[in-house]
Structure 1
Amino acid sequence: MSAQIGETVTITSSTIGLFGRYLLSAGRNHFVSDQRAAAGGPGEAITAGELLLSSLGSCSLGLIQKTAKEQGIALREARTEVTFQRHATDPTQYESIRIAVRLSGVTESEAETLVSGFTSNCPIYNTLKRGGPVEISWTVS
């Protein structure tokens, strides 16, 4: 499911009879998500925070590959590791979100171009960045 500019995308979620377990539907894709065990949920399926991190990882890789293709950059491999730390005193915030990008087969300059292709075009990243401290780094091997 890929949203176009100006397009409205809707994801539905519903409880399914087990406290803390939810059915999420995105178009024809359906999956289960759980509330964290520490919050009283089953904690077996992917959690809301993990979904957020996954969306950043997916958006970063998609836009890095797109930028490489458009710019003729011979990207061999790309990986991201996305982490967050919950705020120590305010449970409604993350203290930090960090995105570590590892790129193979490119120069430092090309890496900067690829990461910029992500950070300047990903609505998930930019929405989060405006709302708090989001940090990104990359390495080249």
Structure 2
Amino acid sequence: MRAINPWINFNGNAEEAFTFYKSVFGGEFAKIVRFKELASDEFQIPENEADKLMHIALPIGQNNVLIANDVPEFMGRVSENENRSKIAISAESREEAERLFNGLSAGGDIEGPIGDSPWGSYAGMFRDKYGIEWIVDFDPNYNG
């Protein structure tokens, strides 16, 4: 396994928060993906959410990455006292990603089945049988 990293959900202010985190931790953003970049006929993005962040990553130290996204309004507001974050696992292969996804999600609720993502990785998202939220991801372009 490459790493386990925190993933934080925001109610529309992920960019503001991550600009602040960057001012504290230093470094540069490794990835920024806005919802409008994923828009298609099958995945319509309302104009008021087009510039919100679907994904932002800030490397911290040698092996850690702080990751976040804005939760689209159609999914409801994030309870900032409850389900605000996920544990993100960066797998070393598609096979490892599938094994971890299938094992950890057993008995839980799959939010996004594992498969090829629009941003080029192989990823899936679920809440395990204990209520913990996870994202398992394999990025073939990862250079870490």
Do Structure 1 and Structure 2 share a fold, with TM-score over 0.5? Answer: no
Decide which structure has the larger Cα Rg and report it: 1
Give the number of the structure whose residues are more often strand, by fraction.
2
TM-score by length of 1: 0.31
Higher relative contact order (CA 8 A, sep 6+): 2
Give the number of the structure whose residues are more often helix, by fraction.
1
